[in-house]
Amino acid sequence: MFNESVMRTFVVAALVAGALSCTQPAPAPQAQRSPAAPAAQPLRWGMVIHTGAGNFTLASLGDRQEAMRAAMHDALMAGHRVLAGGGSSLDAVQGAIVIMEDSPLFNAGKGAVFTHEGTNELDASIMDGRTLQAGAVAGLTHIKNPIRLARLVMEKSPHVMMAGDGAEAFAKEQGGIEFVPPGYFYTERSWKALQSALEAEKKAAQVESHHGTVGAVALDQHGNLAAGTSTGGLTNKRFGRIGDSPIVGAGTYANNRNCAISSTGIGEFFIRYTVAHDICARVEYQKMPIQAAADSVIQGMLEPVGGEGGIIGLDAAGNVAMSFNVTGMGRGYIGSDGRAVIQFTADDAAAAKQP
Ligand code: ASP
């Protein structure tokens, strides 16, 4: 079994930017305070998304920034259409995540990162804050949209989580889930990310990390919260490794009594600190505002132990939270006014606060 420092070395060496078009050196590690510029006013209803946290800058995102912004805008608008029509937060979360899974730009679905062996193993989960029903899938190799299968596990099985071949057999049995050959998940960017990780591993060096996992949380017009997360995991992962994204309470959590959270970052830390549930527990039991609860976990608990990453969240009153302990986290929100706000780094925050 790995001890903590061995595990951390393994994980850090294994992390590579989803953004390997980034040619700039990674910024020096620093104690980054989450700027988190959430909406000044609570949303009557709306949604928040993320596209992964990591040590990147706007310059290092380069040309990809505009394309990412456009895809995130599409995802927010898809969620907004569902919510504006009186649809459920679950449908909004799923709809937004499917769009991000179909984009090659993010580490989920089409753009999933590669394992050490050069395969792709996808994880996802979804949770209904009204019923506390949840569905999760892990280690998928042929499913185009893992979030759809997670939803099916939630709604059509007595189980919460299914993995690998079993999950895919369930998908076949149920029907309505699109299968793709493993080659579908090839992107040059993710392949290069694996090569860099393998090189870095040889030199025991650290490479820039931009995780690229996607997630969404939503509050619908009926006052119901939902959350979902989808990922290819960590570049260079081995031995059937599963991260936090499909783990209810770590990568995803939704409960109408407190909040909805989707996480991104080094999953091992998010699992051990049960991040998503811990934030919601602080909201409920300690009556903390959601942003303060998120900062106390992401910066107060995770940052000192090297648990890089962040979260997006919404509480039952429509307060938006965004918190991260690295230099950037792709993130956006939209409320009933239909105005989408999309940000990547700490510096974007100031601009978003303007009316
Ligand atoms: N949390 C994901 C995992 O550990 C990775 C990420 O968020 O980028 O699998």
What does the DSSP 8-state code read for residue 339?
A: -
Count of alpha carbons within 13 Å of 178, Cβ hemisphere only? Answer: 11
Q: Among the atoms of ligand 1, which is closest to the Cα of residue 270? A: 1
The average pLDDT across 332-353 equals 83
Which pLDDT tens digit goes with each residue over 120-175?
999 999 999 999 999 999 999 999 999 999 999 999 999 999 999 999 999 999 99
Strand order in the sheet with 161-163: 161-163, 134-140, 122-128, 225-231, 214-219, 46-54, 328-335, 340-345
- Taking CA atoms only, the protein residue closest to ligand 1 atom 7 is 264
Class of 2-13+24-352 in CATH = alpha beta
- From the CB of 229, is ligand 1 less than 6 Å away? no
Percent of the chain with pLDDT over 90: 81
Cα–Cα dist 44/221, whole Å: 8
Report residue 115 CA to chain centroid gap. 18
Which pLDDT tens digit goes with each residue over 270-286?
999 999 999 999 999 99
What does the DSSP 8-state code read for residue 142?
A: S
Cα–Cα dist 348/301, whole Å: 24
**Domain-wise residue ranges, the chain:** 2-13+24-352
Cα–Cα dist 283/291, whole Å: 9
Question: How far from 314 is each of 31, 174, 205, 294, CA to CA, in Å?
Answer: 25, 32, 37, 11
Which pLDDT tens digit goes with each residue over 240-271?
999 999 999 999 999 999 999 999 999 999 99
Q: Among the atoms of ligand 1, which is closest to the Cα of residue 264? A: 7
Which pLDDT tens digit goes with each residue over 4-61?
433 433 343 333 333 333 323 333 334 344 544 567 789 999 999 999 999 999 989 9
End-to-end CA distance of the chain: 52
User: Of residues 141, 213, 264, 327, which has the active-site annotation?
Assistant: 213
Question: How far from 64 is each of 19, 20, 170, 297, 341, CA to CA, in Å?
Answer: 8, 10, 36, 30, 18
Report residue 2 CA to chain centroid gap. 25
Looking at residue 29, its pLDDT comes to 38
Active site residue 141: no
pTM: 0.90
